[in-house]
Structure 1
Amino acid sequence: MQKTLQNFIPEAAVAYVVELLNHDHLSVKIKSERKTRHGDYRSLPNGKHQITVNSNLNPYRFLITLVHEIAHFEAYRNYGRVIKPHGKEWKYTFQHLMLPLLHPAIFPNELLPLLAKHFKNPKASSDTDVNLALALKQFDEANNKTYIFEVPFGSQFKLYNGRVFKMGKRRTKRYECLELSTGKLYLFNPNAEVEVLA
């Protein structure tokens, strides 16, 4: 596993992560891109535990996602299955596991203050922390996508699944957009990536 991880996370984090994964009943699978999640954790019927992480994530997002899922495993192991998936036990566990990684040898200096702020009260997804999500995206491979907050009012855009929307007004944190085929309104996080239609 160590050799595989070297291809996906910062080198300075490998030994620590391998130590976290050194459990007989825990396996990690690297998956093709999934649009709806970066990774997941599940307890398997045979008593083993499996973590999956998307292969297309940049090293910093991959590391955060992997530790997020390890925190699920650790929280359930330490507190039992009755806890909430992203409740206080998971938050505490995630904070505890991430703390040794918040170091300039692992994360770029521009990410460290955003990570420190995020881990005061970690969310179910780092994507809901707009500032952190945008900072992490600068390390992604270039693509032809536009952030939704950059889409002009009234413009049309489409999602990865082909659904077409018209850009609406900004609410407090999210953007109101009209799906053209159904006439339904949807709210989008500012850092959602879309394809603007000419």
Structure 2
Amino acid sequence: MQKTLQNYIPAQAIPYVLNLLKHDDLVVKVKKERKTRHGDYRKLPNNKHQITINANLNSYRFLITLIHEIAHLEAFTKYGRFIKPHGKEWKQTFQHLMLPVLNPEVFPMELLPLLAKHFKNPKATSDTDTQLALALKQFDEPNDKHYVFQVPLGASFKLYNGKVFTKGQKRVKRIECVEVVSGKMYLFNPNAEVELLN
């Protein structure tokens, strides 16, 4: 596990994370990219616990995601199985587990104010925090992807599954986009990554 983690998280966080992972009944797996999530946690039928994390995440997003999932395990263990997945017990646990790594030895200085703001009330995914998502994206491998909020009004974009949409107006939190083939309107997270079409 230590050798695998060294490839994915900032070096200064490795001892702390290894200590968090000292659960005899916990399995951590690094997976190929999944488009709908960065990671997940689940209790297996054999009473073991499993965390999976996408291999394509940059080291800072990988660390945040890993601790997010460890927080599910810790909250489940401490408060029982009837808590909400991203309720107050999970939020408090996530905040507590993140605090030791929110420092300039682990994260770049430009991320720390955004992380501090985010962790006052962490959400189910850091992707819903537009400023933080954009700041984390700068550490990704270069690609041709854009966030939906960056796409000009009326411009077309393509999803990973090949479907093409035209960007419409912004609602309170989501952006209206019309699928070109069907004419159906969908609501997009502003931070969904898409391929801009000319």
TM-score range, shorter chain: over 0.9
CA positional deviation for 1:186: 1.4
The SS at the match of 2:78 is helix
Distance across 1 between alignment mates of 2:73 and 2:10 = 22
Does 1:70 pair with 2:70?
yes
1:139-166: CA deviations, max 9, x gaps? Answer: 0000011222222221211100111101
Does 1:127 pair with 2:145?
no
**Structure 2 unaligned runs (5+)?**
none
Greater Cα offset, 5-14 or 143-152:
143-152
The SS at the match of 2:47 is coil
Match of 2:37 in 1: 37
Match of 1:46 in 2: 46
Distance across 2 between alignment mates of 1:124 and 1:58 = 19
The SS at the match of 2:51 is strand
The SS at the match of 1:123 is coil
Does 1:94 pair with 2:94?
yes
Does 1:146 pair with 2:146?
yes
Match of 2:110 in 1: 110
**Number of aligned pairs?**
198
Distance across 2 between alignment mates of 1:149 and 1:84 = 30
CA positional deviation for 1:190: 2.3
CA positional deviation for 1:93: 0.3
Does 1:82 pair with 2:85?
no
Match of 2:160 in 1: 160
Percent identity for Structure 1 against Structure 2 = 73
- TM-score (norm. length: structure 2): 0.97
**Structure 1 unaligned runs (5+)?**
none
AA aligned to 1:2 is Q
1:18-57: CA deviations, max 9, x gaps? Answer: 0000110011000000000000001011110000000000
The SS at the match of 1:103 is coil
CA positional deviation for 1:195: 1.1
CA positional deviation for 1:97: 0.3
- TM-score (norm. length: structure 1): 0.97
Distance across 2 between alignment mates of 1:52 and 1:147 = 24
Distance across 1 between alignment mates of 2:17 and 2:57 = 17
CA RMSD of aligned residues (A): 0.9
Runs of 4+ off more than 4 Å: none
Distance across 1 between alignment mates of 2:118 and 2:69 = 16
Distance across 1 between alignment mates of 2:172 and 2:74 = 35
